[in-house]
Amino acid sequence: MKPSELVDNISDNNDTTIEPQNLNTMSKTNKTMWHKLPLDKVLTELNSDSEHGLSELEAQHRLKHFGPNLLTPRRGKGPIKLFLSQLHQPLVYILLISGATTAFLQEWVDSSVIFGVVLVNAIIGFIQEANALRAIDALSRVLNISCTVIRDGQKRTLSAVDLVPGDVVALQSGDKIPADIRLLQSRELQIDESALTGESVPVSKQPTKLDSGTLLADRKNMAYSSTLVTFGSGLGVVIETGDRTEIGLINSMIASATDLDTPLTKKMTQFSHLLLWLIVDFAVLTFAVGVWRGESMLNMFMASVALAVGAIPEGLPAALTITLAIGVSRMAKRNAIIRKLPAVETLGSTTVICSDKTGTLTQNQMTVQAIYAGGEHFTVTGSGYTPKGDFQFNDTAIQPSSRPALLESLKAGVLCNDARLISEAEQWRIEGDPTEAALLVVARKAGLHLADVSNDHPRLDTIPFESQHQFMATLHRNVTQDLRHIYLKGSLESVLERCDSAFDAQMSIVPLNADVLHEQLQRMAEQGLRVLAFARCDHCDNDVRHEEVRTGLTFLGLQAMIDPPRPEAAAAIAACYQAGIQVKMITGDHPVTALAIARQLGMKNVNRVISGSELQAMDTNRYEQLVDNSDIYARIAPEQKLQLVRALQANGQVVAMTGDGVNDAPALRQADIGVAMGLGGTEVAKEAAAMVLTDDQFATIEAAVEEGRGVFDNLVKFIAWTLPTNLGEGLLIMAAVFANVALPITPVQILWINMTTAVLLGLMLAFEPKEPGLMDRKPRNPDQPILTKHLVFRVCLVGLLLLTGAFGLFEWELSQGESLAKARTVAVNVFVCCEIFYLFNCRSLNYSMFKVGIFSNLWVIFGVVSMVLLQAMFTYWPPMQALFGSEAIGLHDWLLILAAGLIVYFTVGFEKLLMRWLR
């Protein structure tokens, strides 16, 4: 019987039906228990029949009761509410206050610019959040498929949406599983569950009942929604639909996963609140002191407005967005696509990377690495599906053609095989089972091409792989010698019981030594390798039957394979350790395989693997004690991944979670930054993630972490540069009020300073290259404020220098009999000149600009030149003089202004030197 014939023997004319049942009396079987029930009990619980299925009337009744087989989308914010929520941020409050203040002063251009910044920020945030909430929509699209159902004893094609519990579904190769199904029959059925469980190869399925404690990844009698049939056929009964399926559980976990504020947004929120209250307090103090001294309330109100305008860093939100956007651009060049702007900086704050194994740390391409044939052990180099590599014996390269037993074992792997290896545009891909594809690749490395070998040994008959027999056999005619051979492959146990002899290295028949073979199997298994055994039979007829391969075969050899680590992953993990970042493997694969890969990658804490069954038996409260000391987790269910991420976050860690499957999506969304694979990842994973890797390489994460640290450095540089100006302007206004003198700078002049310098000077720091030794630092403490005590001291120092220089020269100009307009012009130029020199200081927070390179950031030079030209226009161009109340100044004034700037530069330079000495 062919695999496709399994469902064809169901009568299309059987009129027996199952009448509508009272659904309220149906047994409330726990969905995690279906796998432990015998088949008759399953059908009884569901009031169904394996041959006739449900009646159409019963199916419609159940559809009304259970609802359509769809995932319920999470109700999100409406477009208007979502857009308005972008304005509900302290930084935006500061901008709105600035805009309202400038509008009150009838400075319509400045007001329009500020409100424009608010609008752009809100639009960007709206787009980013709308995109991030599409993950569940992607999950809903997964279920939009058709399926073959048995109803009223007849086969019919239905939309998966109409499936109900109790429906009997026929499965064929290539089908996507439409719901959670308990298998009733199987014929060589294999299902790819990698997207759900992380299992790297298709799983053979059979309907036998299992123990109640069997983990999700080991439930051989179940087929889960969204997984894919890769081979064979089967029949099963639907047990769960829609939100009650395993993928529905993942959907609900995505919906419940918390979108955490990033370290940057947390710090900026705290910083903005603090700054807002300081500004209000100083403005009120200035107003109160002035009124107490007898000044008019109107004048003091305008002075307070000037102080507020000066103290508000209008350019900070725009600088934040642009700096992050530049980080996005830099990361894109290094194959990392950012979907949420703050994720750029979050990577730089990461303390733990939780990585899936299959497709992330490994290539997701099974590769033969060891062969035992003719009593000799060989190793094979190369990885993945590219057929390049050498054969080695005792660490010495050999020609496979000189080893007859090795060559015959490889030939057996080619002939007893249904996969295909295809070359397209210098890339290799496979069709069929990855394990069989690995056999084709290793044979091609030895010069055995599928087409050539098949032509010389045409296939005459086949016994397909069946899980109960654990082997596959094919009959071939040797064209050259006009002989017939049966080649058989399978598990060592199934092959050994059929063999009574073995081939030695020269293909002579010798006695079979089973103990040696079991020893070889044990050695390979300890390395996490999956082992296939091969045998040959030379006495055969024109077809092959089970009786003919029951005994009398000659053992050929073993081929051992693994999904190998990505070549660059070990170096990337080492770089993460150097940077103080923990790396944890969380996979659905087998513990032995996970441990072997972890050791090959040089991971830490590889003495123990925590399995999903151990976590299942453990109180979730103990997770927080476990996660900091254990790095390898295997056979992990989706909900356990989510719990592990939450436990790490509860311990104060900033967690980056990588993954590519549907099973990774809840943890990707919960993590501080979710990282999905762009090439091999599912759409669900990509939608749930904040970052997508276009090359699927773990090494790209390490590069992105480096870029993230550089972005945060540049943000801190901008903040450390801009705050002294705001502090100095605020102190200058307060000093004037307390000294009972005219304001040294007017509100409109303050706006000129803040807006022009922020754009032409401060933003140039966003283009600063990364400083040396960036990845040698430990991760920042998540609780550490944006500005350390050292930088707060520097901000205050420079603010006082600006106050001293501007107020001193302002008073000096007035004492020389100069006009108020000229004195104010000198004060404005003092601020701009000092900011220019301080900008050079801020190119590195700890070293001089000569160490980072004077010309390593040409944008700084461009900004300084542009600012100088604008200040010349501010000072000498009549329209600007009329607009800002400025007046021309002389060379002597410029020399004094230049001296003030040099004092700032050398003072900060000395402070840096002193701090380095004190460390």
Q: Residues with Cβ < 8 Å from 96, sequence gap 6 or more?
A: 87, 115, 118
Q: Are 623 and 651 in contact (CB under 8 A)?
A: no
Sheet harboring 655-659: ordered strands across? Answer: 336-338, 691-693, 673-677, 655-659, 352-355, 582-586, 632-634, 610-611
> Which residues pair with residue 463 across a beta bridge?
473
H/E element holding 420? Answer: strand 420-424
Among 517, 518, 500, smallest CA distance to 509 is for 500
Which of 167, 356, 664, 713 is flagged as catalytic?
356
Q: Are 584 and 360 in contact (CB under 8 A)?
A: no
Q: Are 561 and 438 in contact (CB under 8 A)?
A: yes
Among 840, 873, 831, smallest CA distance to 764 is for 840
Q: Residues with Cβ < 8 Å from 147, sequence gap 6 or more?
A: 157, 158, 159, 160, 163, 169, 175, 178
Beta-strand pair 146-151/154-159: antiparallel
> Which residues pair with residue 459 across a beta bridge?
476
> Does residue 15 have an active-site annotation?
no
Q: Is 334 helix (H, G, I), strand (E, B) or coil?
A: coil
Interatomic CA distance for residues 874 and 881, integer angstroms = 6
Among 912, 786, 797, 890, smallest CA distance to 843 is for 912
| Helices and strands in the chain: count of H runs, count of E runs | 32, 28
Interatomic CA distance for residues 836 and 830, integer angstroms = 10
Q: Residues with Cβ < 8 Å from 112, sequence gap 6 or more?
A: none
H/E element holding 659? Answer: strand 655-659
Interatomic CA distance for residues 268 and 277, integer angstroms = 14
Beta-strand pair 459-466/471-478: antiparallel
Q: Residues with Cβ < 8 Å from 910, sequence gap 6 or more?
A: none
Beta-strand pair 367-373/376-380: antiparallel
Q: Which residue matches tokens 């394996």?
A: 50
Q: Are 741 and 807 in contact (CB under 8 A)?
A: no
Interatomic CA distance for residues 507 and 557, integer angstroms = 11
Among 317, 322, 264, 331, smallest CA distance to 770 is for 331
Interatomic CA distance for residues 908 and 791, integer angstroms = 11
Cα distances (angstroms) measured from residue 60 to each of 63, 65, 72, 281, 624: 5, 9, 20, 68, 47
Pair of tokens at residue 141: 């699209």
Q: Residues with Cβ < 8 Å from 795, sequence gap 6 or more?
A: 720, 723, 724, 727, 787
- HSE-up (13 A, CA, CB side) for residue 730: 25
Interatomic CA distance for residues 693 and 700, integer angstroms = 7
Q: Are 641 and 328 in contact (CB under 8 A)?
A: no
Determine whether 690 is exposed, middle or buried from the number of CB atoms within 10 Å of its CB (0-12, 13-18, 19+): buried
Among 236, 229, 188, 169, smallest CA distance to 1 is for 188
Catalytic residues: 356
